[in-house]
Amino acid sequence: MQTKPTFAPELIIPNGVTDVSFYTSVFGATELRRFSNDDGSIHVVELSINGTLFHLHEETSNFSAVRPDKYDSTTVIIGLFVDDVHAVVDRAINAGAEMLSPVQDYDYGYRQGRIKDPFGHHWMIEKAI
């Protein structure tokens, strides 16, 4: 049986983080697994949004990735398709995200709004219209 290719982003978070409820409360993510450090902080958390996996991983010196807030920039914008773009963006802002681009309809057929989550990751919340 051949495995269907799927993306599972791994988002880097600062050391010492214990609360990632932003993702469960804003995006409806379900926490599947958590690997904690001795102090109770997160080493890795596996989350799912409607069956799509992603991971949060603490920044470590033996990893070649850094968290985006370290340099106030990002090389990736994560697209998340939802039914109600306005509602998800509003929840994100109320939960501590920063508005990068307000929700609007574009002539190429998408309703989109872009936010930066509390850990600096950029999300394009969108829907085909």
Give the three-state DSSP class for 26. Answer: helix
Domain count of the fold of the chain: 1
Residue 5 lies in a domain: no
Question: Which residues constitute the domain of residue 124?
Answer: 10-128
This prediction's pTM: 0.90
Per-position pLDDT tens, the chain of length 129:
777 778 899 999 999 999 999 999 999 999 999 999 999 999 999 999 999 999 999 998 777 788 898 888 898 999 999 999 999 999 999 999 999 999 999 999 999 999 999 999 999 999 999
Residue 2 lies in a domain: no
Residue 48 lies in a domain: yes
Residue 98 lies in a domain: yes
Residue 61 lies in a domain: yes
pLDDT in the model for residue 113: 98
Please report, for the domain that includes residue 108, its CATH number: 3.10.180.10
How buried is residue 40: exposed, middle or buried, by Cβ count under 10 Å (0-12/13-18/19+)?
exposed
Q: Where are the beta strands (DSSP E) in the chain?
A: 10-13, 30-36, 42-49, 52-58, 77-81, 98-105, 110-116, 122-128
Radius of gyration, CA atoms only, the chain: 15
